[in-house]
Structure 1
Amino acid sequence: MLTLYVVFAWLVGICYGFVLISSAAGHADVNLFQVGQVAVYKLHSTVLLNEIGNGAKNVGFFIAGDVLVHSVWAGGDDRILKLELRAPQLHIRSRKAPSPDGFIEHSSKLETFSLKPFYITWRQGKVDKVLLPNGEPRPLANLKKGIASLFQFQILDTESNETDASGFCKTSYETIDTTKFRKIKINCISSDLPYVKTNDPILDVVVTSSRQVTYELDPKLTHVQNIYAKESHRMVLAVKEDLGSSVEADQILSHVKNEKTETIRGPSLEAVVELISTGYTQESLQTEKEDVGNDDGKTFPNFVNEIRENIAAKHLGSLVSAKAFLRLIDVARRASKEEISKVLGSKKNQKILSQIYDVLGYVQTPEAHAAVMKKLHFDREDHLDLSERYLWALSMSANPNPDILKDLLDRYRKNDNFPEKVKETLILTVASMAHATTIAHPHERKIVRNVEEIIINNLNYAKGEDRYMFLRALKNLKSATTIPVLLKTIANGSPKEGVLAFKALKAMGVSLWDSTVLKAAKRTFLQHDRKHDSSSRTLAVDMLLESQPSDEVIWDLLHYLKLNDSSFEVKQYVMQRLQMLADEDPTFSDKLSGMIRNDPSLNNYAVLAPKGLSTALKRNFLKSPSTNGSLLTIQEIFGGIVKRGIVNVMMDRSGLTKEMFSLGIFAGGLSGLVGGEAEGDEETATAGMELTILDTQIRPFVFFNGQSELMGHVWSGTASERTTAFQSLILLQDHLEYIRLGPGFVAEFNLKTGMSFDLSGNIEISIWGRTADSVVEKSAGILTNALIIIDTSFVRSQIEFSASIEPKLTLKSDIDFSGNMNLCMRVTQPDSTFRHNIFKIERIPGSKHKMRIAKYKKVPVPGTTYSLNRKNNEMCSAMFS
């Protein structure tokens, strides 16, 4: 009985508390803001910025003062409240400040503001209007809105959408006890402020927010006793979550006393508002971003003059040019068409024009594109290199401008006089931009459909090698509706067309490989319909193994190893890919081993040790709690020559994989040169390179096409000179967002990652020594700059960090065909250093005060020579022992 009584008493107490707190404003139980009374509060509003992690010293400020809330008119549940902010005082971080809080008072422009009272209309807990004095300085108006937002609340446990100093938020209320309740705000939107985002789960910049306000009423429920608002916002890199910054903001209003105040008479709330509106401007609670201007006042031409040397071609592939590139991006986005035209037309900039077009390709403002199209002519041969640089940058941007896409598509339609290289680059760019548009601007469906229609129509009408560019464009487009066209090409097209179609299907990703696609892959690999190019077969194997293959598929691949297939390199490739998966996945390894052990005809040296030289392996170069980085290398050999060689830099996060960069080497018709076996369907001697960056394929670079061009390089020695194949400045990450803070400030979250890239190489062929040696070098300077800043006319606090590294990757291939064929491949990564620097800065405009906290960190990254396989190691030993 006692237990029942305790439970009953507890339930009654809870219900009684709920009734008291959940009674709507104006009911007898709750009588807030009684007309004729003024409530006096102490205000303490704090903003702090810091790095991710514990123990670091933050920067920031707080504002202290008094807030008077006069209830000057009441009508039912409606109120008109007159608010006054008195004697606000700025307190800042200072090394001279006493412990433990570390703040001291400091004079600022805040003290010069005229502190006139302002009004709010309070209707059943909602603040409909804020009446601010005409000409109120924006920072003061925002501060007042932050205070007024604290008085927007519901006493009922409920959910609603509200607009206040944080923006448009989804808001919920919950009871804590008889005098306390909590407001939680989520999904706050500021659609009127700029927002740029990298729409990729691995390259993403993750911003998380938490906002809540706790209210405490006095025991008699006649006034608000205390208000405590707390919020935090974090910005981190998805690929490395220990790199990031945060901002925290608190508001505290503590009740001091109640006094009497004058009232206003009027028949209705609207009539009183009209009465007091003279000299006031009506606004909502939403704050407005303060435009403090560009401190240095430098124009785009000024900046280019400053950093011209840093973006010279000789610095590409280094951090020097990456740093200058990021600076130029921000300035170019603010530049006028005239400023950009001045830079493009300056004789001093002729040697860096390619890099300037890189910048403008990522800027994509109407002013930038208009200036470029005035200077650049796609139909002129002497503009070929510059045209491609601009188009490459456009194609790799994660935030394409749909208007620029429409303009490029229109130019492609209307002009047939473009050089072949520009024509191909243009259609590849249009396809890549269309794919990015489906993600960044999903409402722009019409232009994407138009792009797909043009590519398909051109593919249908093109003949011979002219079809290749449109198949590559489908690889960049990645549209599921083009799958039937690609499958038809595999079934009926030429061997080279089949390879390109498979590459397009593979680029779409496993999520779009339905049963029809996988059946086509299996049919192609086993050549059940007709003979296919070996590259089509190996690509088909990749797709089958990457799509969580069933036991039946695995068994088919193992059974194939027992067949009498003359393409022993394909057998070797299958064995290498199975071994690569087994090394990655213990479950798959156990399954594979079990199948092999249970079949004596399979479990023997003759089957499991094919004589081919092809290689497929994956090696890790980065491991972190959130993301792994790996190097994938695939070398498909035919006749002793690398027919299809790939070195991919991959990033893995939460089960997702992204191909960051892919360097592909292709060759054909060279087997006779080294005394190898001819393939049969390759007659023309050819070799070249394909580069895919951020899922965007670049037009292939052909080193030679035909035996005469090849022998010309051999006899002249031009191929043995180190040659730059591809250089570019690339914007990997681009994030900009503004977050409205409850106290009335707007925080800018800005993060960009730039990469300066250089791809160079050479090849030496000796007819007399019967050797061929090649070197391909990828050099990059990668820099991330991130900033969170609170910038007003009376205080400026910011935290920024940079993370940088200069990685290099070298692929060497040495072939000795003087006797028994020997091929030695080496993939090496030299030593590098990862740097992480943090800067926290606090300033007061108009004063000499400046506090700067800096932290520097260096982490050595040891170099690596990647072991390929046992057979390759044996041949390297034989060649260089």
Structure 2
Amino acid sequence: GHTTGPSLNNDKLYKFAYSADVYVDQVKASLQKSAGYRISSGVDVNLLWRNPDNDDDQLIKIMIRDVQVENVNERPAAKNIFKGKSTEKIIGKQYLEALQRPIVLELVRGKVKTFYSYQNEPGFTQNIKRGLASLFQLQLHSGAAREVDISGKCNTTYHVRQDQVTKVKALDSCEIEKQGFTSNNRILDVNTKATSATIYVLEDSFIKSVKAEENYVLLLNSRRKTGAKIISKQRLELKSIQAGPGLIAGKQVASVIKTLDSNYIAVPLVAEQVKSKCKTCPSLSEHWQSIREHMYPEKLSKAEAARSFLFFIQNIRKATKDEILQIIRSENKELLPQIVDAVTSAQTPASLEAIMEFLDFKDASTSTLQERFLYACGFASHPNEMLLKSLTATFKGDIANEEIRETLVIVMGALIRKLCDRESCKLPAVVEAKRLILSRLEKAKKDDNVRMYLLALKNALLPEAIPLLLKYAESEEGPISNVAATALQRYDPSLLTKEVRK
């Protein structure tokens, strides 16, 4: 009785052939003559886990293998840039390795609830995986839905007829966080017409084949004859079903993901912008040298310092871990706090790795920098699972300064709250951090430790912490009772039962 989403059989490996074609040309040109490329590969899919309490909640693993890259149309040898080159030569060893690392999807009633991949993966390969993952999202009954996939949050209509499902996505309805420069002047603006349709053929309640096509026509408003079209086609076809690996036991998604590979993190399904590297831009260290003089403490109140600081953050976001470390390790004590602020505020995987490698929490003499880092984490505008995961690992390790230890767990509480507000409460790193704080509080003997964990819970506002907070609020200890009582006052009254209110 799977009526809401596709379902995989246990202990089976579904082997698909996959291709993605991209055509680029002028609006009126024929597809047979268009330039473009085709990526083709095998795709292996298997069921990892099914929720014992809900058959329509599944984890599936998707792995790309045997990748080939070629021209989308035959081209003369002199113009064929791919001729005689291996896939590794064309897209690079790092990209090929990344492309072949598996992804995991949590499908709930046929919709992708969470997309798990690896930190620091190139945007180009991550986007290919997002496109492939989006093909596995479908519902098995006719009707309209608003759903998130690689294009953003879009109005989608499903038409179901026996074993065929047609999905039509209204691309002009897709909401995506706007990035970069947009022109509100219609003279300069670009007009876009876009269409998207996907046809699924099903067999035995799972996918037999998929054909997807998206068309984008771009017209510059100031020159109506200047235009381009981009067409992307994806195909997925089931070739065979073989005996596959068994299911992973577990009640919670978080524990299954951790068992599978603790390096998996939840990644947005919406495409990320892939920027080409600027060949004439100054390097990070060159940029730092040009603004360095404005970053001394006595000059920080000046407007030039604020401007320089913001530009520095933007450049850090484009930098590698090694480029960032080179600056941190070469600077004097007067400038380091400002650099730590900027690197932490950049909020990229590379900047987080760099700062975590630089800071030594076992060394009490650098506690000022550790504190700057933690405060900047607490104010992070887009905290992610990786940041919380790194802080949890640090908290479990040796920390020389007790005040830093307290600040760290309080900031973890704030990050748990921010992630839960964004419906990310069930991510493995959040589940782990919540469990750590609650279990440590229950075991805490010293008043200082009890107070520290209560302050973390005051920031996290976890509904499951209410009974513990109630216990401490009713205890005789003045300061501890006070922290627990003020934490309870921050909760939404609807969460507090009559018993708590008494």
**TM norm structure 2:** 0.50
Q: Bigger radius of gyration, 1 or 2?
A: 1
Identify the structure with the greater helix proportion: 2
**TM norm structure 1:** 0.29
